[in-house]
Amino acid sequence: MKYNQIKDSYKSIFESYEKPSLETHIKKVMELDKFLPYSSTFFCVTNTQDLIFEYISKNFNACLGIDANILKTKGMRYFWSRIHPEDVEVWLSALNELMEFTLKEIPENKRPYANYTWNFRFKDANDNYVNIIQNTTPLAFDSDMKPIIGLAHYTVLDSNITMPITATAKLLNEQKEYDTVYFNNFSQKLLENGISNRERDIVRLLVLNHSSKEISEKLNISSHTVDTHRRNILKKLKISSTGELIGMLKMNKSLL
C-alpha cells in the first residue's frame, strides 16, 4: 500500500472538522516527561486531524535511536513509512474497526473513559523491525464525540518476539478499573475455517461474558438464533461446551 493511500485511509477513519486546543494537555505532559526515567517506553500527543505529533517524549530517541526532531517535522507520514509493509493494511483495519466500534457501541458520555491498544512492527534507526505496542487514551473529541487527539504510550519489544496484530478497547468502570469491551486479532485466524462472520461476532461477545439475551440485543437477532449459532460453533470446532470454548479463547486470544 502506498503512503498517500495510507493518508487517505487514516484520515477517513479520524475525519473531523474541529481542531481543539492542546495547550493544557501538552504542558502537563512536558512537565511529567522531565521526571520520567529512561525506559523501553515513550509517549506522544497525537493529532489525527493534522497528522502531526504535538509532543514527543525524551525516550523516543532512547527507544528507537531516531531523532525526535525528524518525527516532529515530518509527522505521521514519516512514522507510517517505518511501519513494516506487511503490517500496514492490517494495522489500518484494526484502527478502522476500533473507530467503528467506538461510534456504534460506546455511548458518547463514556468515550472520555475509553482506552485503546494495538500493535505493529516498526523499523528503528538500525533498520531492524521491533515490535511496538501502542496504548492510546483520548484527550479531545470533535462535536460528534469522535476521538481525534490522544495521549499515546508506545512500548518497544524485541524483534524476535512473534506477535499477531490485535486491537483492544477498554472502558473505565465505577471501580476505576478497565473492562475489556472489544478484542480482535487481525492476523492469522485459527477459527476462520468454516466459521461465519456472524458466528465470529457471537464468539467474541461470549468471550466478553455476554449472555445469549445480551448478544441477541447487540446483534439485533433473537435469543433462539444466538443459541442455534452457539450449538453450530461448538459442532464445527468439535468442542463440548461453551465454557470450554471461552476458557480456551481467554487463555489464547490469538485463536480468535
In 3D, which of 251, 168, 239, 252 has the Cα closest to residue 199? 239
Written as tens digits, the pLDDT of the chain (256 aa) is: 565 666 677 667 667 655 555 567 677 778 888 888 888 999 999 988 888 999 999 999 999 999 999 999 999 989 999 999 988 888 988 888 898 899 899 999 999 999 999 999 999 999 999 999 999 999 888 888 888 889 999 999 988 888 888 899 999 988 888 899 998 877 655 455 577 888 888 888 888 888 999 999 989 999 999 999 988 888 877 677 777 677 666 655 545 5
User: So what's the pLDDT on residue 241?
Assistant: 75
The class (CATH top level) of 197-255 is mainly alpha
Length of the chain: 256
Stated pTM of the model: 0.68
Q: Where are the domains of the chain?
A: 3-185, 197-255
User: So what's the pLDDT on residue 13?
Assistant: 66
CATH node for 3-185: 3.30.450.20
